[in-house]
Structure 1
Amino acid sequence: MALPVFLTFLFFALPASWIDIRSFRIPDRLIFPGLGAALLVQALVSPRSLPGGIGAAVLSVLFFLFIRKIAGGLGLGDVKFAALMGLCCGPWVSLAFLGASLAGILGFLFLRLFKKDQFRRPLPFAPFMTAGTVGVFFLSRFCA
């Protein structure tokens, strides 16, 4: 993942994560412009990776729709956010999802162990998805 693409992701993902923490919603007014900006930046700085990013975005949406249908718990905002992750991470997106899942499990355990009064509340997933993408960015720096 190129640095400008990563910074574009963060520009939209950090406020989306904050809003998700506060309201359990990921606003379209951040995700759709984020997708457009990420497409533009990736086309300018790394046009060869654009088809892989688009493919990863489509597969991410399909995967999250499948999870949503089977297990529930994911909102459509999470599905759209997965498209942004896929576009930015490209072939690394599966590792980003793994990182997000592990971070989510740790967040759940933290709430379970230390904040029992908040255990029944839903757990916003956008911050964990952002963390997974940040982890992939740094991992790709070491492995590429």
Structure 2
Amino acid sequence: MGEIAQGLERALRTRPVPPDTETRLRFLLAAHQGSTRQVAAVLEVSQRTVQRWVTKKPGARRSPGPAQIQVIEEAVSARWQPRVRARRQTRAEAEGFVLHTRARFGFADAARPRTTRGCGTSPSACPGRPLENCSPRGTPARASSSRW
């Protein structure tokens, strides 16, 4: 998901999504009335796997892998505050929506002033003079006999 889409999703929520995987799994269980079978169907894993993830026994508890964590995060984001999201989305569609963004264009050294073709001054500093007459490295330009 791109940064703009994530910003829109954040704007439609009032509370942040649970930060850790254990809390996200508890949310999914609560959303499916405590049924590990339904949660397993949503996450496309076995029911026993979900039971291992949420058990309270210290020796039997297992944590999900990186791929499963991503699936859990997507499932929770899709189900997080559905009525609040729907209400805010209809309001934004009716009244309009303002999204503030920032852009970077990949300039590695934007703070240093740039010069053109070895000129010590920028072309805007000497309008009307061609670039060939710009002085190199800030020294005075030679006057050509035909022009000056």
Where relative contact order (Cα < 8 A, 6+ residues apart) is larger, the structure is 1
Structure that is richer in helix per residue: 1
Tell me the TM-score normalised to structure 2 length. Answer: 0.26
Q: Structure 1 length normalisation: TM-score?
A: 0.26
